[in-house]
Structure formats: structure tokens, C-alpha cells
Amino acid sequence: MDTTEYNRVLVVLILINSLPIGNSAPQGFCNPEQESLGECHSSPAEEKPVCIDINLAYCNDLGYSRTIFPNILGHRSRQEVESGPEYLLLSVIRGLLHGECSPDIRLLGCSVLAPPCKNQPSPTSVKPCRSACEALKKGCGHAFEGIDMAWPYFLDCDRFFASDEEGCHDPLAQLRAKQEVSLSSLSLDKTSTIIQFTYHTNAQMYSVLKRTASKCSHISRTYSLGRSVEGKDLLAIEFSDNPGGHELLEPEVKLVGNMHGNEVLGRQLLIYLAQYLCSEYLLGNQRIQTLVNTTRVHILASMNPDGYDLAVAEVEDSNDPERQEHDNQEGRELNSWTVGRTNAQNLDLNRNFPDLTSILYRNRRINQFRTDHIPIPDSYWFGKIAPETYAVMKWIRSVPFVLSASLHGGELVISYPFDFSRHIHEDRMFSPTPDEQAFKQLARTYADAHASMADNNTERCGASFIRNGGIINGAQWYSFPGGMSDFNYLHTNCLEITVELGCDKFPPEVELYPEWLRNKEALMSFMESVHRGIKGVVKDEEGYGIKGASISVRGIRKDVTTAEDGDYWRLLNSGTYIVTASAKGYSRVSKRIRLPAHLEKPGRVDFLLKKVQVRPVEPDYQLLFPSSSLDTYERFDPYNQFRRNGEPGEPSEPGTGGEPGLDPERQEKPWWWSYFSQAGFSAPTWLLRNV
């Protein structure tokens, strides 16, 4: 909310506190609070209706000048209207909703508080049209949900509005006419998406994501992965033509930002991307609709909201003139490079995942050792595990992700696994995965679509990637264990790249729009690249999908496994391959396939496996290769170590505004509650959701 809007709210609050306020309800109507407190009293004599000038500051542009008292809600005078929570809500609603649905909500509310008066044959009110109310609620309900506010009771379309047949007044007709005139004067070829390119606090980020999901509820939803150390929501937003569930043969993609709290550009780009996907889908953008209808996209804008708050505080402090007098430039730059990188436990989240790469290197020469779906060693659970890491690991294990990108800052390059060097004493050693060629192609997809990443003439941040065209193997750049990308690759089917977005980890706000333009096409192209290679379903003779079947490709020592219903996805470049499907208790089936160079969608390769007798496993083999079985893969925190060491409580369902059934006085209040709780009247709990 800007300064002008804030001052206006303060003036309203002062005026309200200066007015005499009685405890009894307006004659003829009780709002929900007054009814529950027994403050509704019948009038000994019904007050005679009278038409008077409106004279309400926030309702002076309704297209008519005379209203009636008592009004539709039973208010007997202008003073009663001005001293009520309904009028206060209309005076601040533009700021609360960040301008969305304004002035529509205010005009609709004013038509209830100050309806037009008809003098003949006697003073009567003309109710606002129900059709206008229903249309506005459909279009703006998401905005209220986005700030955890209930739809106001006095905008109940059935209760306080009339049908066209009954005779009604459309309070939005004049506004629509003005908008049509304005639009007719514009020479735009097509409607476009409008995004506000500013930084978002954590609260604003949650609000934007929830409003976006409500606005596009048929293709989107928000959900929580868990909570940070300080209890902040790890809120993700999903886009799909079937939000909330996996669809057969529809690949799943995730984008993760702000893993390091002070690397904020990726966080902002993902917030903008969520708004862009929603808006462009509604506008009929065919490319966006194809992506959403054929892909399930998950966006976690901030994996480290606690670190973000620390980074923001550091940036604000560094701009303090008094501090600048005492701190040298070098010290300020060092702090901005490091403060907020870790979580509130001072753990680097990109060093906090299980080090499965070392396990692979120790056992890679053993022919029978699995190089995929490596279980998490029990010893890992006795170390210090961040709640953010724990939540993301559960997320990665619960969804059959195919492709992922983690957005960082500090360089301008794409790196890909392995991030940990294959030689313990070599910090910069080329350490490829079996999917080296697929990873290079994915990295090239983002870098080439970026405005300047692949350009050898682009100024870099210290390292040199001229020979690489903006991409590099992670360990060849610098080596570290416990990274998220290596964990994705060795523990699941997912291929994840790391996107370094630029030298400035916390760029000036004026740079956000140019950065969006540089990265928008790259983000789109990367998500679309999940539709490469092959996909299919592995079934038994009865037609049921086989969960956990292995799909192997000759020459690539990395299998993928089938999801719950037997479907799979295998990212491959063009070429000829021998693909084999196998499962415990079933026969093996191999097929030869050829992928053309310019295949626009994945090839469909299904398998039908027959049941066979299972040969018993020799005891010596089980002792020699204990991690070769997927049985141990299911062991996740087997000793309950994480919860024992103090996991943050499970979050409530996003947007519930508190625990259902809780006493409204004890319920945790949303951020906007203070506007109403200090205004001098009974607090309007009708604005709280699930009360």
C-alpha cells in the first residue's frame, strides 16, 4: 500500500473513532456479530423511509445523488453507515487487494449501503442487480481468497440483491461504459498480460500465488511442502489441466527458486512466471494452453524464505547513510554476497542433501550395483537436516518428476550434474553422469534461448565459459557434495540443472523487467523440453499398470522406474536405442527404437510383461550388495530422527486462515485484521474464513 493510501486509511480510522457508536444494531437488520452477541433489538415503531442526498465520501460516484434511510442493511442515517465496518472495508479495499477489482467492489458495496431512492408513490429503495453481484463475485472471489478474507456478508447476492424481473439498478453499468470507451480508443492488436515487476515480501509472495491459483482455479492450485525453521510456508503453485493429481503419461516438471536466500532474482522470475501462465492461459495463448494441458508444472518460488528475510534486511541496512559512513565498500559487498545465503540454522541447503554421489563413486566398478534410485544411508538421518531440505526430499519422492531447474545467482551459466568431483582431491574435474548428452542438450536449451547467456561476448562475473557457450559440468566448475541436483539424479528419475542467472544476486528493482525479458523464453523452452525422448506404459497381461518397473537403455547406465499406474518418461536425444522393460516377477522385454532429430513430441513405447517364477536371491549376494534392492529405497527417516530433533509443525491447508472450528477470538488473524480490530466497533469476524 502506498503512502497516500495508508494516510487515507488513518483518516478514516480517526473519523470513525470520533463518532458516537452504540451497541444496538441498525433497525431492521443485524450483521453476524451483533446477532451472535444478542445486540439485535426490534424497534417499537417502524421508522418512516426518507430520501436524502448521499453525501458519503467513498460513494459519491454512483451515477445518482439521492439514497434512502433506513437502507437495505437497516442503517438509519449517514452517520451509522460511516461508523460501521462495512463502510470501513469499502474505504480500504483497494489497498488490501492491491488495486485488483477496483473500483468495482467499492461501487457494488456502496449500492447496498446507499441504494438509489425512488420517490413515487412513496420513498422506496431500488436494490442492486443480482447478476452484477454474481459476475463480480465470480471474477473477484480469488482476490479475497488471496488475502485469506471471506466474501463480505453484505455482498450476499441472494440476500441483498434483486433480479432483473423484480426491477434493479446495475451499479457497474456506468463503469463498464467508461471502460468500453477507453478500450475503443486504444490501438492494441491483442490483449496482453500485465505484471507488476517489483520485489515481493514473503507475505506478498504468498498472496500473489494464492490469488493466481484462485483466478485460474480450473488449471491451478497452491499447496504447502512444509515449513521453514521460522515457521514460514514453503508454498508451491501447480499448473495442470487436472490440478491436484497425476495424469497418466503427463510429465511433471518443477522449478525451484531462492534456495540461497540472498539469490533473489530466480524467486521473482518464478512469481512472474506463475502470473504469466495463468493470465496467458485465460487470454487464449495457444502455446501456454498446450504446455499446461500436456504438462504438470510445479513452481516453488522460495525454498528459503527465512534467508530471504535476512538478505532483505541486509540490503536495507546497507542503504542506511549512517551505516555507510562506518562500513567500507568491500565489507558491504562481502555481506551482500553471503548474508541470507543459508537458512535460519546457518545451513547451506545446497550442501544439506544426502551425498549419494560418493556412494556411487565407491561402488561404480561393481557390475551389479545400481546407479539409480540409490537409497538414503541411515547415517544421514543422524546429522543436522534442515526442515526445508526434509520437505523438498519428501516432495521429490512423492511426485514422479521428470525434469527440474534450480534458479541461483552469482554467475551467468547453466551447470549440470555431477556437481561432486569423481576424484576427492580434484576440485575442478569433469565428472559426467551416464546422461551427459541429455544433460548437455537440456542446458543448451536454456542457454540458447536466454538473451545473452550463450553469447561469448557477454561480460561474465569472474569465471570464463567462452569455450562452453554458457554451459558447464558442475564438478568441472567447482566441486561440492550434498547438492540437490545430484540427489535428484541418483535418488529419482528426475534430471535437474542449475541456472545461474547473473552476477548480481539481488539486482536493483529497475532490472527485474529486463531480466524477465531475458529469461521468459528460456523458461518456456526448458519446460517444453520435457516432451523429448520416449514415454509409455508398462502393463501386465491383465492390462494393469506395473508400478516400479525399470526402463533401461543400452549404453546408458541409469534406469528410470514407472510411476503408480505404470507410466514412465525417458529423456533421450535423437538416435537409435535398445530399450528394455523389466520388473520383479515378470519377463524382460526389449525394443529397438529410433528418435528422429526434429521429433516434436516424445515417442510412445509401451511394454507388456508376462509373469514368471521368481528365482530366490542367494544370501551371499544380499550381504554383498545390500543397496542393490529397491526394498531399502522406501526407508525414509527410519528412526524418526528428524521429528525427534524438532521438525516444525505441519502447515494448515493453504488459504484456510487458521484451524477450522477454532474460537474466532483465539484464531490466528491475517495481516489485515488490525485495520478493523482498532476501529471502535465489534470486530467483524464475518471477514475471517472458516468461522
Order the strands of the 550-553 sheet from edge to edge. 556-561, 550-553, 575-582, 589-595
Residues 6+ apart with CB under 8 A from 453: 412, 413, 414, 446, 447, 470, 522
**500 catalytic per annotation:** yes
Order the strands of the 411-416 sheet from edge to edge. 220-227, 233-239, 296-300, 252-257, 401-408, 495-502, 411-416, 471-473
Where residue 201 falls (left for φ over 0; alpha for ψ -120 to 50; beta otherwise) is beta
Contact 288, 281 (CB under 8 A): yes
Going by the DSSP 8-state scheme, the letter that residue 510 receives in this structure is: G
Residue 159: Cβ within 10 Å count: 12
Contact 540, 566 (CB under 8 A): no
Helix/strand/coil for 553: strand
**Catalytic-role residue among 145, 238, 263, 500:** 500
Cα torsion for 322, 324, 326, 327, to the nearest 10°? 150
Residue 160: Cβ within 10 Å count: 20
Closest CA to 215 of 303, 283, 129: 283
Helix/strand/coil for 513: helix
CA separation for the pair 557, 485 (Å, rounded) = 18
Where residue 535 falls (left for φ over 0; alpha for ψ -120 to 50; beta otherwise) is beta
Take residue 158 and report the three cell numbers written for it: 441472494
CA separation for the pair 136, 258 (Å, rounded) = 36
Cα torsion for 144, 150, 151, 156, to the nearest 10°? 180
CA pseudo-torsion sign 608, 611, 615, 619: positive
Going by the DSSP 8-state scheme, the letter that residue 162 receives in this structure is: B
- Indicate the residue type of 113: L
- Indicate the residue type of 553: V
* Kind and range of the H or E run holding 335: helix 329-338
Going by the DSSP 8-state scheme, the letter that residue 677 receives in this structure is: H
Residues with catalytic roles: 500
